[in-house]
Amino acid sequence: MISEIVNSLQVPLVSYSATDPTLSAQQFPYFIRTAQSDSYQMAAMADLVDYYGWKDVIAIYIDDDFGRNGIYALGNELEKKTMKISYRLPLPVEYDSRDITDTLNKSKIFGPRVYIVHANLDPAFRIFTIARELQMMGSDYVWLATDWVSATLDSLSPKYQTSMEILKGVVALRPHTPDSVRKTAFRARWRDMQTKGLTKSGLNTYGLFAYDTVWVVARAIDRYLNENGNVTFTFSNTLYDEKAEGMRLGQLKVFEGGSLLLKKLLQLNFTGLTGQIYFSPDRNVPSGGYDVINIDQREIRSVGFWSNKTGLSVVPPENIEGDHRSYTLEDQKLRNVTWPSGKTEIPRGWVVADSGNPLRIGVPNRFSFTEFVMENHSSHKFQGYCVDVFNEARNFVPYDIPHRFEAYGDGNSNPSYDGLVKMVANNDFDAAIGDIAIVTNRTKVVDFSQPFASSGLVIVAPVNNSKSSAWVFLQPFSAELWVVTAASFVIIAIVIWILEHRVNNDFRGPPKRQLATMFLFSFSTVFKKNQEDTVSPLGRMVMVVWLFLLMVVTSSYTASLSSILTVRQLSSPITGIDSLIASNWPIGYQVGSFAHSYLLESLYVSPSRLIPLGSPEEYEKALQLGPSNGGVAAIVDEQPYVELFLLKRTQFGIIGQAFTSGGWGFAFQRGSPLAVDISTAILKLSESGKLQEIQEKWFCKMGCASERGEQDLKPEQLHLISFWGLYLLCGVVSVTALLAFLIRMIFLFGRFKKQQMATTTSLSMSSNMQCSDTLYKFLDFVDQKEEATKKITPQSSTREDSL
């Protein structure tokens, strides 16, 4: 407001304390500043934050033009160095202890622990007093302050400087003024005035600026009077139009010599207490830099200096030789700082989370390829390769990471990974873990960790991996299945012969003929055509079960052999990504994968050719159908998925090499220091071999991808475990039939023997049969044709028939 008035009155305004960086000569032509603009101070603060490697800060400031504009300048300087003000916490102009307490309590839930305080002079240092009461000046906390702290400290009389204990560990800036004899003498005179009681306040840098400002005005007026000699004022009607009536500027007079006095001011060049005094084209004194001070044990220690030409240094700017137009971080140097924790070790400056506010980590709830990451629905816990990698990496991070996994997706289909990354960028999640591909569009909004797995895109298609063999017909069955099947033919031959020998003439005759008939009958059942027919009910029952078993086994054998002889011969004319794109065949891709956007946006494949596939089963079906039958010619997917898909599917293979390079990483919000620490942990996992162990745990149960070449050479076989139930059923029926036959034979032989004994007793009644004779006669009885035994015992024929 004052600048507006002096512009209208044409009276130069020389300020030694207005540091607002938005005050410019273009807007206020009569405004001149002998203090340094806050634009320099905020550049120094940004270099200080960058020097210690912090990326996020919290700004506490007074909510007025001075505070807002200063923090705005700080934000711009931090952005130049890829840093940022994560949270801005304004305080009312007339703030009290409650305002400070509420503001600091609000900041506790934030991750950054680097505070930059830009406020007005406050002898009580209330912000730091309450921060210490809230235990916010301990480990991991960093407190930086603009020059208001140094100005307040320098203004305090020695008896009040015990309050420096409150500021222990604070790092602040102080406008730099070169040492000189005149400045030393002036300070000595000021101390004498304090001793005599003529002043109570100490002398700060702004007091030196004020002293020099008085000389600036005096010299300019002196030169003005020597040249002009008159000071005149006139009324101007323009003041009525330019300003509001309430200000009544029309009652003031305009200084006619204002432009000349301004010219004399801008021509000054002399040495004052604060150094060389002259004005740049923007009507500010050149920046003399800043002292970097550290309060430690009631002592103010200088730990270095800053200038806009040399950056941070332990050498005062005026002592540095040469023309330094630019500087790098490697050129910066400061002395050791004692931080609020009392240690000189640089604080981390941020906390990940605490138990009351854990890190929110998004995890994709996949539908397919769940070996990489999945949610256990019974325990609602996440598991998988990617989850194990993250958990192991946490063990290598030198601090605890309280976290909470949150599912992303419904589990019925693969979620959009671009959507997951956007939720991290939008602060819906603090981080995301899983099989997240690191691609360009995602790196623009989040930070990724070091890749823990390679994920280049590859092409999978049917391949010809069969070899000609004269013994290919043996490949459908495993050796044990062949042995059991052959043994079953022999057993069935014996069982049917036993059951049919007494009642079927086809199974009688000389021993050689019976042996040939028995085995020919058994083996000819494979072709379902026999010259002999079964007569006995038990034999027919066994044959029903046996023929059912043969039907299943032969059908399976035929299907397996057909697969070996035909499906294995399928091959793709695709030789690489170029030939695939040049064709018009449909291409499959995994739902949710970045392969879809890559094919569309980078390779310009027509959307009509892209077929979404959601599971390994859909992959297999689409490839087997082929492009002519509603399937696909090939599938483009990330290499880890393809390797897992091919572990048990030897009829497909990878065509050529990966045509993109990339990897999977964990996503974090931009600037999150956790991304760096997790990256370091992943490198340690890789170097220790733990990463390989996790991979083998999840993907080597059925054989690792590196062993797949050996597995491809093995034929696809059917094993006994697939048919043991049928063989058991057939065995049980055969044994039951034999037992029923044996019981019947024993019963008939008993009747036959009783009849024979009755006949023998009536004639002689003197002979007894021996056990060996009984067994021999039983076998002879079983061997006889059933009709012959009926003739011998006609009286029992009726009962026998009923049996």
Structure tokens at 315: 């050498």
Mean pLDDT to the nearest integer, 714-724: 75
Residue 757 has a pLDDT of 67
Residue 201 has a pLDDT of 85
**Cα–Cα distance between 672 and 759 in angstroms, integer?**
110
Nearest to 351 by CA among 534, 108, 516: 108
Reported as a single tens digit per residue, the pLDDT across 642-652 is 988 888 787 88
Determine the Cα angle at 661 with ends 656 and 667, to 5°.
Answer: 140
Q: Has residue 660 got a pLDDT over 50?
A: yes
CA 168 vs CA 123, 301, 443, 500, 679: distances in Å:
15, 11, 40, 108, 34
**Cα–Cα distance between 244 and 280 in angstroms, integer?**
33
For 145-159, 266-280, 411-425, 607-621, which range has the lowest pLDDT when averaged over its residues? 145-159
pLDDT band of 155, cuts 50, 70, 90: confident
Residue 722 has a pLDDT of 84
Mean pLDDT to the nearest integer, 98-108: 93
Which H helix or E strand runs over 301?
strand 300-307
Residue 388 has a pLDDT of 94
Q: What is the largest CA-CA distance in the chain?
A: 181
How many angstroms from the chain centroid is the CA of residue 42?
Answer: 35
Residue 32 has a pLDDT of 92
Residue 762 has a pLDDT of 46
- Of all residues in the chain, the percent with pLDDT exceeding 70 is 84
pTM: predicted TM-score of the whole model, two decimal places:
0.61
pLDDT band of 216, cuts 50, 70, 90: very high
How many angstroms from the chain centroid is the CA of residue 357?
Answer: 20
User: Do the beta carbons of residue 284 and residue 33 sit within 8 Å?
Assistant: yes
Using CB atoms within 10 A of its CB, is residue 162 exposed (0-12), middle (13-18) or buried (19+)?
A: exposed
Reported as a single tens digit per residue, the pLDDT across 467-505 is 556 777 787 888 888 898 889 888 888 888 788 777 776
Hey, is 626 helix, strand or coil? coil
Hey, is 285 helix, strand or coil? coil
User: Do the beta carbons of residue 299 and residue 164 sit within 8 Å?
Assistant: yes
User: Do the beta carbons of residue 660 and residue 456 sit within 8 Å?
Assistant: yes
| Side-chain-side CA neighbours of residue 369 (13 Å) | 29
Angle between helices 639-646 and 616-625 (to 10 degrees): 80
